[in-house]
């Protein structure tokens, strides 16, 4: 019995059939060269047809701008902002307009700046409204009537300052004397017809100082002319004080108080000094250096136990009570 041979079917090659040989490969095979096996290629991707999408603009939608950051160029000059004030006059020796107005007694420098900004000043017929300009000393300066009306509304107040209050800026533990200027502290016998208004406190400033341990007449004003007359560098207004002292004073020391004394390396102006009574001296000064009378008395061996200012120029303290105030009358002059 013959044994049959089982023939298995050849496996089916399910891979992608090799590509046909190129003419060069076929020629090499004929010549006996073995052609390199073809590199199997991945199956081709199924092409997908791209459908174009039409962009539909939204009506009224804003277009966002992309900011472009400025990159500074190294070494490029930086342009400076324009000055806030006017450039200097071509002649730097000429004074500024505000200073010249103050020197002529028209107003204070602060008032001059305000008037210039408001257009109330004319120089040689031309309006000037810019701060910082320089003008010739012989320039003709005209002031608008509005400025004069504004100046006429400014007030000056006389206060009888008590001990314990400072004249100007507040100090730790002490109040400035201006807090006493309120309706309830107005002197009942004030002859002025003015009615107190809150605007009377606006820009109200002390024209001079009075030590915290001193009492007496302290002047507050809105008028720059008054302030300049009382505390200006060229002020010649007399201020009279009554000073209680302890100690002895000989004729030589009395003469030194009247003339020849120096404070802080500055020679003092001549003063009027005399005995009011056995314990009290009367000083009349034409200047007001810090704690001047107390330091003068210390130089000659006297101790000041009380100091009161009773007059500034032609305006006396009078019977104004301590802690109360009144308006300067129109007929009064420092």
What residues act catalytically? 211
Which residues contact residue 145 at a Cβ distance below 8 angstroms, ignoring those fewer than 6 apart?
A: none
Tokens of 66: 């992309």
Cβ-based neighbour number of residue 326 at 10 Å: 20
Query: In angstroms, rounded to a whole number, what is the distance separating the alpha carbons of residues 244 and 238?
Result: 20
Query: In angstroms, rounded to a whole number, what is the distance separating the alpha carbons of residues 241 and 257?
Result: 14
Tokens of 314: 């032609």
Contact indicator for 140, 124 with CB cutoff of 8 Å: yes
What Rg do the C-alpha atoms of the chain give, in angstroms? 49
Residue identified by tokens 């002390």 is 206
Tokens of 2: 């013959």
Measure Cα distances from 134 to 125, 156, 277, 334 in Å. Answer: 15, 31, 54, 31
Burial of 41 (0-12, 13-18, 19+ CB in 10 A): exposed
Contact indicator for 185, 323 with CB cutoff of 8 Å: yes
Which phi and psi (to 5°) does residue 218 adopt?
-130, 125
Tokens of 93: 């020796």
Q: Where are the alpha helices (DSSP H) in the chain?
A: 23-30, 97-103, 109-117, 145-152, 224-231, 251-258, 292-299
Query: In angstroms, rounded to a whole number, what is the distance separating the alpha carbons of residues 97 and 314?
Result: 31
Residue identified by tokens 């030590």 is 211
3-state secondary structure 230-255: HHCCCCCCCEEEEEEEECCCCHHHHH
């Amino acid at each position: 019995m013959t044994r049959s041979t089982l023939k298995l079917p050849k496996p089916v090659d399910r891979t992608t059939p090799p590509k046909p040989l190129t003419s060069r490969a076929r020629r090499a095979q004929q010549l006996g060269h073995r052609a390199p096996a073809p590199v199997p290629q991945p199956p081709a991707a199924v092409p997908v047809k791209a459908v174009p999408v039409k962009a539909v603009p939204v009506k009224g939608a804003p277009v966002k701008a992309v900011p472009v950051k400025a990159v500074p160029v190294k070494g490029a000059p930086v342009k400076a902002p324009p000055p806030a004030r006017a450039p200097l006059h071509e002649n730097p020796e000429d004074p500024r307009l505000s200073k010249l107005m103050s020197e002529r007694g028209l107003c204070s420098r602060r008032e001059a700046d305000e008037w210039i900004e408001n257009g109330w000043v004319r120089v040689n017929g031309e309006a000037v409204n810019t701060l910082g300009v320089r003008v010739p000393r012989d320039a003709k300066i005209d002031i608008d009537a509005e400025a004069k009306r504004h100046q006429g509304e400014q007030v000056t107040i006389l206060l009888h300052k008590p001990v314990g209050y400072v004249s100007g800026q507040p100090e730790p533990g002490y109040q400035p004397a201006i807090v006493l200027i309120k309706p309830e502290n107005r002197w009942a016998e004030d002859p002025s017809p003015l009615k107190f208004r809150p605007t009377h406190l606006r820009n109200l400033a002390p024209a001079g100082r009075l030590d915290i341990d001193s009492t007496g007449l302290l002047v507050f004003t809105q008028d720059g002319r008054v302030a300049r007359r009382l505390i200006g560098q060229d002020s010649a207004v007399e201020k009279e004080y009554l000073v209680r002292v302890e100690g002895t004073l000989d004729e030589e020391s009395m003469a030194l108080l009247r003339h020849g004394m120096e404070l802080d390396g500055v020679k003092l102006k001549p003063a009027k000094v005399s005995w009011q009574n056995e314990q009290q001296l009367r000083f009349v000064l034409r200047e007001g250096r810090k704690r001047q009378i107390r330091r003068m008395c210390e130089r000659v061996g006297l101790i000041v136990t009380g100091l009161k200012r009773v007059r500034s120029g032609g305006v006396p303290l009078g019977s104004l009570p301590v802690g109360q105030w009144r308006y300067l009358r129109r007929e009064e002059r420092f």
